[in-house]
């Protein structure tokens, strides 16, 4: 486990649902106005169970994002903190990749990568 693992830095929001040597599945829950401490995600697929609005921060940069419920998006490896800027709770599932597929956090990427059609 990395030192800034979200289940350690933000245990009130992240919990492990299932894990093996290839992937870890996390559930994320928060309320409007909730913030997370800086944490790291390896390459992941995020599935939105609720719609949400968030502000992600990393390295002095900020990124605003809104996603509807029922979306699956690729999240490149990154370290960030976040804030629920909407008026609804956030509920998502992260499928984090392990091993060589986990990737390295890049300073050039913040927030979900664009999805392909």
Q: What is the CATH number of the domain that holds 34?
A: 2.60.120.10
Q: Give domain status of residue 53, yes or no.
A: yes
- What's the pLDDT at 98? 95
In a domain, 107, yes or no: no
109 domain-assigned: no
- Residue 19 has a pLDDT of 97
Structure confidence by residue, pLDDT tens digits, 10-67: 999 999 999 999 999 999 999 999 999 999 999 999 999 999 999 999 878 999 999 9
Residue 80: the pLDDT is 94
Q: Which residues are CB-contacts of 17 (< 8 A; sequence separation ≥ 6)?
A: 25, 26, 27, 93
Q: Give the residue numbers spanning the domain of 11.
A: 6-99
The residue ranges of DSSP E strands in the chain, in sequence order, are 14-19, 23-30, 39-41, 44-48, 52-58, 61-67, 72-75, 78-84, 90-97
State the pLDDT at residue 71. 96
- pLDDT of 105 reads 74
């Amino acid at each position: 486990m990395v030192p800034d693992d979200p289940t350690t830095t933000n245990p009130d929001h992240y919990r492990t649902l299932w894990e093996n040597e290839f992937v870890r599945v996390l559930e994320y829950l928060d309320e409007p106005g909730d913030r997370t401490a800086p944490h790291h995600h390896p390459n992941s697929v995020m599935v939105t169970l609720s719609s949400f609005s968030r502000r992600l921060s990393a390295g002095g940069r900020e990124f605003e994002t809104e996603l509807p419920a029922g979306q699956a998006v690729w999240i490149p490896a990154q370290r960030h903190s976040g804030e629920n800027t909407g008026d609804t709770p956030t509920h998502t599932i992260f499928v984090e990749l392990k091993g060589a597929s986990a990737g390295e956090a890049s300073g050039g990427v913040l927030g979900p990568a664009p999805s392909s059609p």
